[in-house]
Each structure stands twice: as C-alpha cells, then as structure tokens.
Structure 1
Amino acid sequence: MNVVVIGTGYVGLTTAVSLAMQGHQVAGIDVDESKIIQLRQGKTPFYEPGLDEALPRVLGTGTLRFTTRLQDAAHEATVVFICVGTPSGADGSADLRFLLNAVDNLLELQEKTPAERVIAVKSTVPVGTTDYVAQQLQSFPELHVVSNPEFLREGSALRDALEPSRIVIGAETDRAFALMEQLYLGISAPRVLTTRANAEMIKYASNAFLATRISFMNELARLCDKLGTDVKTVARGMGLDSRIGPEFLQAGLGYGGSCFPKDTTALLQLAKQHEVSLTILEKVREVNLNQPEWFIRRMRDQLATLSGKRIAVLGLSFKPETDDIREAPSLKVLSLLLAEGADVAAYDPVASPSVQRIFPHVTYADTPYDACNGADAAILVTEWKECTQLDWVQVKERMSAPFLFDGRNAWPAKQLKDIGFSYTGVGRS
C-alpha cells in the first residue's frame, strides 16, 4: 500500500521504517527541512537500537522516502498516519496544535486531489480527539478517520513495531477496518477493533496503569526500607502470581520519558475537565515526582553531608538503550546533588551531550570508571549494561570512599558487600 507518515519524530520515524520494511511504499513528512535532509542521508536524529541500520536499508530499496511537502507525497496514498507530537500544555493537558495543523493540511490535500484515504491518528490524544478530526473532515465522505494508537517502548521500538503486542483500531465503518487490516495483513498480533474513543482510552489507560505499578513499588520500597525487608525479593514473589506478572514491578528512582509523565498528567486533566477525580493516579504522579528526593535523602543520611563530596552519577537517559532525557530522573538527581553542594561527575554512553546543555558545570566522563575516579560515592541512575557490568575491584580502587547507591537495584549487592563496599539500594534490606 502507499502510506504517508506525517511527523518523523520517535513514533513517526519508527512507524515509517517498519512499514517500509514490510514492503509498503512509504513517504515521511516533516516541516523541519534540516531533519529531512539528515533522514535522506540515512541518519537518525535520535538513538534507537536497530533503526540506524534499518533506515539506510529501506532508503536503498526505494520503499521509503522523505519530503517536506505533503502534496508531493500524499496524492497516491491510501493510508495517512498522523504521528505529530502532542506535548503537555501549560496546564498539563495535551497540546493539539500540531495535530490540528496536520488536519488543515489534509483538508487542503483532499480538496486538490480527492481520493479514498484512511486518516489514522497514531499520536497520543485525549479521548474524543479523533472524533473531532472526523467532524473536521466530514465534508469528504471518502475519508475514513481512525484511531490507531502506538505501543512502542523506547529501546525496543522497531521490534515492537514489527512484532506488536496488539493492534488497536478504532473506526466507525467496515471499510475503514478493512483498509487497516489490509495494511497490517502480514502482522500476527491480537486485534482490538473498537470505537475511536475506546482506542484512545486504551492508550491512556495502558500507560497510566504501568505508571501505577511503578509508583506502587516505589512507595512500597520506602516501607521495606523501614522494615528491613527486600523489595526486590518481594517483587519476585509478587510477579510469580499469574494475576500480577513480573513486568513493571522494579522499584527505583521513578519513571520518565516522553510518555508516562505526559500521558498521566493529560489523563488527570481530562478527568478534571469532566469533574471526575482519579485519586489513585494523582498519588502515582506525586510518588514519582518525589522519589529521587527520597533517595537523595538516603544518600545524605549515609554520607552525613553531600556538600563538598564528589559523587559519580552513572546513567543519564531515562532508561537504557535510548538517548531520551525527557523527564529523566537523572535531571532531578543532578539538580538535587548540585543544590547540596556536591561535585558531580557523570557518565552515559549516549545521553551526555543532551544533559550537558542543561547542566554545563557537571564533569562528563568518557567511561564509568573515569566518573568514579576520586568519588566519595557513586549512584546508579540508569541501568545501562556499561554501568552495571563493571570490574568492581577496579571501581573500589578508583573511589575515595566505598559508598554505592543503587537507584535501580541492578548491582550485585552481596558481591559488593563482600568486596567491602557500603551498598544501599531502593528498599533493600
């Protein structure tokens, strides 16, 4: 099928590449001309495993191209995906300006080159948004507006696009469902065929529930810390229950990234607009906001003071295998440490340049070992393998004092204690 993807950010580019890999003829559209030039050269604007190799490959086969002009690419398209950003507005609700601008461009396209098309909204939007888009386009009955939310995990996005856990399609006509099924014909995954509003709610509810699991474990870790129990063992015991499962039960420094913080806030704002109180989700957000501060207090208790101490911060991106620092716990950790008067050295395999623009006075090391040179303490913020699979004898030799603070419960606690480190995890006995 001929497919157009409006927006070449994280979701849009991954969607475009994955569809091109499946043999569809895909055009990626973006208003940023410099980004389009970069993409035409086969260079990705962000780090995502597998995408650097896949992009030049599909460019070479001719199944993917990029342009700044919708008119040049979409006149033959059967499916047009809207994958533009929906950032948080000043009040936390989703800012739909980019999406509505894309709709205006599609109106102009349809007036000039009328044809049957599916307009698929893949951007994460408040419930009712896709119905509103359909109303804006209702003068063109040959257009089928659907909601087709994405469930991509940063660090494994390309694999998730090629092998999705489920495909959710919200539409109002049999023809719309049929065209989307034709697009996804080669993908074996459970289908949820429903209304547009249900599809939008599935996306928000999924992210909110995963965020809830994380914050529940982080709050439970605080109690484990007081009781002398081990939240990691507790999580394992919980996860063996088939009704619960092991995913997203890891206590740590909180969630970050482009989805969970933004989507939980947007869902809370949507509920507020409809005079519904989501008290559990409000607490989820509160726990996440103050989790880094709770752990830094644990550091201060161990070290007596952070002022003048050299602290090695290992990992800066919000999770491994991505350079995304949006809402990353590391930003809060760095801010708190600097406010306490600490001398900070940080390491991350890919995200350091982005963080350096925000915190220029932090020392950025080339290796985790260099970050630990002369350190009074080290804190694990992101569980990159480069930060967890270390020669601990060498680390101890390089540090001035043996204090380790495991913000992801990913270091080998017993081994470290046997070597002579003072080890503190999140809610670990």
Structure 2
Amino acid sequence: MSAEDLLRELAPQVLGVLTRRFRDFDAAEDAVQEALLAAATQWRDEGLPRNPRGWLIQVASRRMIEQVRSEQARRRREDLAASLVPLDRQSAPAADDDEAADQDDTLIVLFMCCHPALSPASAIALTLRSVGGLTTTEIARAFLVPEATMAQRISRAKQSIKTSGIPFGMPGPDDWAPRLEAALHVLYLIFTEGSTSSSGIHLQRVELSKEALRLARAVHDLLPDDSEVTGLLALMLLTDARSPARTGPGGELIPLAEQDRTLWDRNAITEGVALITAALPKGPVGPYQVQAAVAAVHNEAASVEETDWPQILALYGVLEHMSPTPVVSLNRAVAAAMVHGPAAGLDILSAVESDRRLAGHHHLYAARAHLLEMAGDFRAAIENYHAAANRTTSLPERHYLTIRAAKLAAPPTPTQTGSGARTKNGRQ
C-alpha cells in the first residue's frame, strides 16, 4: 500500500479519535487535514513511522491544542481544552494511551458527513475530504470548480453539522436506516460522477470512481451482512469493470453495444457477481441490489446479441416499482424496445416525458433518438440526437451524439440506394 493510500485509509479513523476526544468535529477535521499534509511531506523524506496511525493522532492532537491556544478560538475552546487536554503539556498524549485510539470510527464519521440534513453537494465534498482524505484542491479539481468555492462548500457543511448538534456516535434505531441510506446515496453519487462525468472533457474521472469504490469496500467491511451495502459494492465493481472499454484511444465514448468485451475486468466481474448472488437471497432486496443484478446480466453476456434482455426488462420493472425515477423509466424503455420492438419503448417514453425532472434533460432526447433510429425514423432521430448534444455538458457525450446524427444524415451508399434502404423522408 502506498503512503497516499495509507493516509486516505487512516484519515477517518484519526478524525474519529479527535472528534471523540475533543468533541469538536469542525476543528478536528481541520487538524486532521493539517496532519495529513505534514505526513505527506515528512513521510516522503523520512520514511513511514513505526505507528502511522498513532503518529497522525499525535500530530493532529497537537494542532488541536494550538487551535485552542489561538486568540481566534479562545472563547469557544478554552473550556473544552481545559477539561480534555492540559494546556501545559508540550505534546499530545500518545495515541496508544487513549482508549478511543483503538476504535475505528470510520462509519460514524461517514454518517456525520452524509447526514440527511446536508445537501448532496455538501455531503459529497465533506465525505471526500473527511472520509476520503482528499485535499480541498483535489476535490475542487475533480468537480471543476474553483478551490475557494469548494472550500466554502465544505465550510458550510461543517457549520451545518456543528449547529445541528449531531452527537458523535452511532445513530439510534430510529435514525439508523435514513443515515445509512444517505451515506450509500452519497457514495453512489460520487461513483456515478466518476464513472460518467456530468461535464468536462473527460468521460470518466477515475480518481472519483476509485475513491467511491474504496469507501464502499470500507463500509462493506464494517457491515458485511447488510444486503444493500453489498449490492452497492457489487454495482460499483460490475460497472467499473467495463471502464477500460468505454473510451477509445482519443477518449471518445464507446457505447455498451460496441465495446470490446475482452477488455472488461473479469476479476471485478467475478467478484461483483459473487457478491450480488450472495446478497439477493438474504433480503430485503433494495434498489442497489437490483441495479447490480442488471449490471451482472450485461457483464455475463458474451455479446450484446446474447444479452438476456427479457430478464433486464423484468428487473427494471422491479426497480421502477421500488424507485420510480425517470432515469429508471428511460432504461426500462430501452429494454422494452430490445424485447418488444422500438414502438414499445417509445410508448414508455411518451408516458414519462411529461415528468418535470426530465424537462430539457439530454438523456430523454438521447433515448428517444436511439429508439427512433431503431424504428427507422432517421429524420426524427437526427433531430433528437442534436437536441441531446446541445443539452449535455459532457464533451465526449456531445461528440458521440453529434457523430451519431451525422452518420444518419450522410448520403446513402450505392448499396443502400439499390436496396431501398432509405426513402425521401429518411425512413427505411
């Protein structure tokens, strides 16, 4: 394990120790970040210490004491420091001397960062910094926003936690389900943004998807018997397994039907299939498990022609019942077209296109264009491909959609003309 990976693994553990000891999440998080930066410099020059976790706890604790001593925090922290840490000590207590240092509070920290009271954007930023160990600069770069903007977002999130009075500890029985649901949702959003970037010049942001996958593994290690946690990890593995084949040499988007499946990561597929196969019988079945099952069906098919589309259609029907979102309906429409023909898919799209959540969204136009192309209505397909291209902020998606439209608009070849492949209105 590299020093960088070790720091990211230890970050939430150290934050948990400091928050438990000092009862100040905001200040503890800042102190941990300073300790991580110090470690990144000193460990590179001097090598790993004998006890990296203890080293970080000690350095971060000293930073906390310095903050307590600072004039800016005097009124707010002096009483806390006096009761928890003697100010006349020149160094923080050794980590191994503290009972709390032996506890792994990663899950508690994750629950705090992903509290339902926080907006998804704030929760994502805070999770990547406090649980993932990423710097503000790294997070800002990943989401293509100025560092100052991301710093403000993280600061507001920490302030929300402080003012809410959220206690540091595992949620009670009544709060457990929503807190875990929020945490899994944040990890899913991070992974999705990394797997298919919503904007920018790159289709994938590998650092985000890999970090989400790492955190999902950590949660699964802590909650191995939770079927939805297992389902989310399986979904990430099965989706990430296809990433080597999703882009061409120039970073261009390659759709699932055209991917070279020999490039897929078979080890990840095997692990993901094993996880979802074991999770489904345990119940209760949730949305992440169903999505993982869909991904498994795709990944186990040797080609797009051999894909079990009836099973995928059935799974999307189950998922739509569990989580009736327009994106799920779009996917069900495509599956229905593969099973029953494009008209069936277009009927489903007609039923959901009035959903306000889809208004102006490029996914709706792209799905309709695909189904119209399947139906042979090339003129309408071209219009919808252009509409989708004009609405996406992802350059690889825009290029793909534009090229798709251009291919349909190209004059037919002599072979196509002789066979009557297209009529004047662009239909076959």
Q: Give the TM bin, normalised by the shorter chain.
A: under 0.3
Q: Give me the TM-score of the superposition, normalised by structure 2.
A: 0.26
Higher-Rg structure is 2
TM-score w.r.t. structure 1 length? 0.26
